[in-house]
């Protein structure tokens, strides 16, 4: 029997969790993995039918889950999600995974103000709203955990991905800051920074060269969403801030941290040669 408010050493075990963007991809994998670990999961997605499909998969495992529609770009809906989750699970939430996001690519001078707003509202503000909704509840509870899904784009800064890069860099910076601020409140934070993972982010986003990216996601991804979700939850349990799952992401991270100016020259030269 789980006791509400009892501190857990491993936040992914028997969690009362909320996952945004849980209707597909990494979000669905997070929800399924949490259920395997004995958790109760509120599966949130802007597409309610997709969230219900995830719930059905969890229920087939013999675990409990709930589907809730939520547009993370709207703060009032995220706040409502936080309240509704507690009512549905009849427990305080102990873990939130701010996963919902979209892809957006294109040259900087081809991106409109509407493009910027659309991407930032979902990818960055959606995560901010999620943290704002749950951090006060975790402080009141005495513990909690947050996983924010960023991207290796937050540090690779690849050309023709300006808006997306900025949105994900914001998520990483937010997570790094919160990790330091919230330690004294017994709230763990992890930020996930993958490269290619087979998900619907390309299909649901606006990116150039969709055919090429679809091929890369299908044939060149070094992992799966299920493996990424499991690894991230394990890292969270260990109290680690960063989850950088693939070897290519690790190499880019190492280059950027140890030789930033050399990396910038490499990036610029590579892009010029490709064009």
The answer to whether 192 and 228 have CB atoms below 8 angstroms apart is yes
The encoded tokens of residue 271 equal: 């892009």
Given the residues 164, 215, 242, 263, the one annotated as active site: 164
Interacting residues of 56 by C-beta distance below 8 A, sequence separation 6+? none
Tokens representing residue 183 in the block: 């330690």
- For residues 99 and 22, the answer to whether their CB atoms sit within 8 Å is yes
200/89 Cα distance (integer angstroms): 28
Active site residue 129: no
CA 210 – CA 160 distance, rounded (Å):
13
Contact 135, 187 (CB under 8 A): yes
> Pick from 211, 208, 216: which is nearest to 105 by CA?
208
How many residues in total does the chain contain? 275
Q: Which residues pair with 69 in a beta bridge?
A: 45
| Distance separating alpha carbons of residues 13 and 160, to the nearest angstrom | 40
Cα separation, 17 vs 20, in Å, equals 10
Residue given tokens 């982010």 in the structure block: 201
Return d(Cα 188, Cα 240) in angstroms, integer.
Answer: 8
Q: Kindly list the catalytic residues.
A: 164
């Amino acid at each position: 029997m789980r006791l509400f408010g009892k501190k857990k050493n491993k936040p992914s075990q028997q969690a009362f969790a909320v996952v945004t963007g849980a209707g597909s991809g990494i979000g669905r994998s997070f929800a399924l993995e949490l259920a395997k670990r004995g958790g109760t999961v509120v599966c949130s997605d802007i597409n309610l039918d997709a969230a219900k499909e995830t719930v059905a998969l969890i229920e087939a495992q013999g675990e409990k889950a709930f589907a809730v529609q939520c547009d993370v770009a709207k703060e009032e809906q995220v706040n409502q999600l936080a309240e509704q989750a507690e009512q549905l699970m009849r427990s305080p939430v102990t873990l939130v995974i701010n996963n919902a996001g979209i892809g957006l690519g294109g040259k900087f001078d081809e991106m409109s103000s509407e493009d910027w707003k659309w991407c930032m509202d979902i990818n960055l503000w959606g995560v901010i709203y999620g943290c704002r909704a749950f951090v006060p509840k975790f402080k009141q509870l005495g513990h909690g955990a947050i996983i924010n899904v960023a991207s290796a784009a937050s540090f690779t800064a690849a050309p023709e991905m300006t808006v997306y890069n900025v949105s994900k860099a914001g998520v990483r910076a937010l997570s790094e800051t919160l990790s330091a601020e919230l330690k004294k409140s017994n709230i763990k934070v992890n930020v996930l920074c993958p490269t290619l993972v087979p998900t619907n982010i390309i299909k649901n986003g606006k990116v150039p060269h969709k055919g090429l990216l679809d091929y890369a996601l299908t044939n060149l991804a070094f992992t799966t969403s299920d493996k990424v979700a499991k690894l991230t939850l394990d890292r969270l349990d260990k109290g680690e801030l960063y989850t950088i799952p693939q070897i290519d992401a690790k190499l880019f991270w190492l280059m950027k941290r140890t030789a930033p100016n050399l990396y910038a020259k490499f990036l610029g030269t590579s892009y010029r040669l490709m064009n």
